[in-house]
Amino acid sequence: MQWETSISEVSSDGERIRGYRLDELATNLSFAETIWLILFGEIPTKQKTKLFEAMLITTIDHGIGTPSAMTARIATSGGATLPAAAAAGVLSLGPRHGGAITQAAQMLAVAVTKQESASALVERYKQEAKRLPGYGHKLFTKQDPRTKTLLSLARDLQLSGPHAVLAEEIETMAAKTFSQLLPLNIDGAIAALGLDMELPAESLNGIFLIGRMPGIIAHIIEEQMGTKPMRRLSPDETAYHGAPPRSITHSDNDAF
């Protein structure tokens, strides 16, 4: 099996990432610039770097009560090593937790290409009784402050484009159309701004994973340093609603 790559080249002389010597990157670029380079192949402009840093920072942690922090800490409490607990945290980042970015990006990209208006799009989702990916948040029910920061910064940096414009129009139309407010959330904002910076839609979810990793590690280290024993639910936090007490009878498992 031959393994081919365009990412990096390693020899006994050293390593090159996307053609650049690793030591040149380490002494000249920021970590965020190097992340962009390894993911997308080129060094970003200063403006794009600034917005990219902000995107990574806003995903770094959303509190101890989120699935990624909880699974990482519970695994740690069972004695998992640092990589094992970090993996457990990462594994909770599915479509309902950080992973709506991909669907939101697809929705926005198609709508911009087809020049579908925000009102038509929202109406269509309402008719089909589908959830708008990248909208709504359990805690930030009126407005997601992280989103506003990113959109405002993008405008200041002149990086905001048609996807961000559409994303905000959808937020406005959704408020008029649905019975509850559905603010543009962080997943939706990363999708819109990533597309406006011409990043490939399928890679945007990776930004969330990279951005969240330090938060997961911080929760693991805090849990390791604590003195708490294995986390388990107390009996009053659980409820059993299954079959009543019973015994095995002959008829359960009849003759062969």
Residues 215-244 that bind a second copy (CB under 8 A): 215, 217-222, 224-225, 229-235, 237-244
Q: Are 18 and 7 in contact (CB under 8 A)?
A: yes
Least CB distance to a second copy at residue 173 (A)? 23
Note whether 69 and 216 are within 8 A (CB).
Answer: yes
Tokens of 148: 């506003």
CA-based max dimension of the chain: 77
Residues in the chain: 256
Q: Give min distance, CB of 124 to a second copy, in A.
A: 23
Q: Which two tokens stand for residue 190?
A: 């990363």
d(CA 55, CA 67): 20
Buried b (16+ CB within 10 A) or exposed e, 15-42: ebbbebeeeebeeebeebbbbbbebbee
Note whether 245 binds a second copy by CB under 8 A: yes
- 5 vs 179 by CB, closer to a second copy: 5
Give residues 119-178 in contact with a second copy (rule: CB under 8 A). Answer: 138-142, 145-146, 148-150, 153
246 binds a second copy (CB under 8 A): yes
Tell me the closest approach of the beta carbon of residue 115 to a second copy, in angstroms. Answer: 27
Please select the residue that binds a second copy; options are 47, 106, 119, 177, rule is CB under 8 A: 47
Q: Is residue 211 involved in binding a second copy (CB under 8 A)?
A: yes
Nearer of residues 16 and 126 to a second copy, judged by Cβ: 16
Residues binding a second copy: number (CB under 8 A): 141
